[in-house]
Every structure is written in C-alpha cells, then in structure tokens.
Structure 1
C-alpha cells in the first residue's frame, strides 16, 4: 500500500497519463471554432448504429461503421484500467480517435465513450466544451474518486443514461468537492459515456 499522503498525487499522475490520449485528440471549443464536422451523435439509444444489442467484436463493429477502423487502447475508468475497442476515423490526412467501446454482458456492447469534439451528446455536448457551455446543472453532478479524482461526473440534460466527465485545473484537479464559480464554469468536458438504458 502507498502512504496516504502519496495516494492523491499518484492517482492524479495516472489519470493524466490515461487522459493524455484523448486530450490530444480534441481542440478546445471556443469562439474561434466556427464549424465542427460531426461524425455521429450519442443519444439515449446509442451511438449511430451501435447500441446494447451490438455484438462486442471488432468485425461486427467495423461492419456497422463504414469509414472507421478499430484498435485497442488502455483507458482509465473511475476504479480501474481496462482495454477498450477504439474506433478511429480518417480526417484531414490523419485519423482521430472517435469512440472507445467497452464490453457488457452476453458478448454485447456495455459502454460507449465519445472522446472527440467530432462526436456530440444528446443535448449537443462535445468533448472540449466547458461546463458553462454545456449548461449542465451542478445538482446532476458528483465528484469522481480513485482514477477520476477531481473530475465531475454529470448526467446529460438530454438522456439519463449518458454521463459527462469534466476535468478541472489547479487545486480543483485533486478536490473531492465540486468547485464553484469561475473554476466550475471553466471545467472541460473530457468524455461522453453511454450505457444501455434500463
């Protein structure tokens, strides 16, 4: 076991490494971003043709998502790390990591994470937007723990089975309480997380 005083810095360091991949994929959305190509929208039902009935295997997923290729990536969840199937989309001469997909029960998809600003949420949210831009209510949020220490986990205004995770800077990045004021407003949406409804 690590000493208690080392637990928070260690968790923050691990989180920074795990989030680095998705943070480099997206540009912060601000007034200079006049138009953003939208690959697909995550709704209460799923992400495009992907939903809770979709088999969790690369061949099936690629067959439903023409123009995308799959790979594997290690991601950090709140309480553990795990491998996910990642969907890449070619754009601007390169490729963007668009979705991270996790297995569920019965060999089906269990979660879909949108990790680029080219993916929108059920209420128009996009990774890279600020907490203020998203307009989510603080009452719908809780603070994460472990690998998501200092991150707000909020319910989308558009669907109860879609969560949004926000990161903060400064002292709020290791806080166990939701920040307020300008710090809260500046929180940055990192990912849109869909789970099957019901």
Structure 2
C-alpha cells in the first residue's frame, strides 16, 4: 500500500511540474498574450493592413466616391451605409469582401476621402492590432488615450504605437461609468478593440 502511495505522489508531482512548465512557456511566448477570435480560434488572415500611408490603395488624394474608392480597393464591393462616428451618424461608403464589411470610408474635405474606419475581423493595425484584442494585449499606455464623447462616450480612443495617423477605439462591455474620463486601469485593461481609424 505504501508503495502505491509513493508512486501516486511521484505521479502527481511530475504532473504538477509539467503543468507549471507549460504555463511558463506559454506566458513567455508573448508579453501581451495570444489573440483569439470567437470560440477561441485565431483571427482570420488580415486582408487589409492599416498604416500611416493608408489602407489598400486609399490615400489622402483618393476622391470620395464609389468609383474612386472601388478602383483603390479592387475586389471589394462598395456600398452606401449609415453608420456612427464619434459625433453623430451619417451616410457614407463601406467596403465589403465576400459579404463581410471590412472598412467604412467617410467624406473629407475638397472632394477627398476623410477618416477610414477598419471594422472587420480581417483588418490589422500597424503593429498587428486586431479587432477583439484587449487593451492589455495591445501594450498601450493609458497616457496615449483620451475618453470618447457623444456616441463614443466612455470609450478609449488611443494613438497607435509607432504611428502618427492611426487611432484605436476600445470599448468596455457593460461598463457603467464614469463616462467623462478614462475607466480605471482594471476596467480599461479588459476593454476590447472595436475600430481602427486612419486619419489622412
């Protein structure tokens, strides 16, 4: 009986060591954790990467219209939608790929495009940011953020790292305020990325 007990203790100790080693390896692989999509699956491969230079072939010189936008985004369907920005709702153009909305293109000045919102799972930011990642995973400092207003009240609007033209919009599910300032760090860390904005 004592021999069986000793063997059982050795088995438990080995199992505990294996679990601890696996945990350490996984925690060292990425300082911000592994991004997963719905159901624990990794996000789809990015089809659009947003950088300071633009999105696809959209640039500050792109004319605001379905033809010009469509020419800059070959393979995408350009449709008119009504959507919400920070200060209100408006009609604008959206780019769809295989029926999924990927980006929203707002009107700018002098007939050119304005801010573009990356809204699909297949959009990536300049540092690999993906929709659904948490603020903690992004590695951002709260000092790089401001609190949203009006329709984005209580959200965190942050400057992307290594970028001058890209903002990241984070929202906290079931957040009950305060809405006039950034959420406490413990709440902000669990906020999830909702939109990636390119401001020409």
Asked if Structure 1 and Structure 2 have the same fold, meaning a TM-score greater than 0.5 normalized by the shorter chain, the answer is yes
The within-5 A match list for 1:40-79 is 40-79=48-87
1:58 is displaced (CA, Å) by 0.5
Please identify, of 164-173 and 136-145, the stretch whose mean Cα deviation from structure 2 is larger. Answer: 164-173
SS of equivalent residue, structure 1 residue 42: strand
1:124 is displaced (CA, Å) by 1.1
Structure 1: gaps of 5 or more residues: 1-27
The within-5 A match list for 1:80-95 is 80-90=88-98, 95=99
Q: Which whole-Å CA distance do the structure 1 matches of 2:48 and 2:173 have between them?
A: 29
The root-mean-square deviation of aligned C-alpha atoms, in Å, is 2.0
CA contact (8 A) 1:172 1:179 kept: no
CA contact (8 A) 1:131 1:188 kept: yes
Q: Which whole-Å CA distance do the structure 2 matches of 1:102 and 1:76 have between them?
A: 10
1:171 is displaced (CA, Å) by 3.5
Residue of 36, 46, 52 corresponding to 1:38: 46
Count of matched residue pairs: 166
Q: Name 1:195's counterpart in structure 2.
A: 199
Structure 2: gaps of 5 or more residues: 1-35
Q: Name 2:167's counterpart in structure 1.
A: 163
Q: Which whole-Å CA distance do the structure 2 matches of 1:130 and 1:51 have between them?
A: 28
Greater Rg by CA: 2
1:175 aligns with 2:179: yes
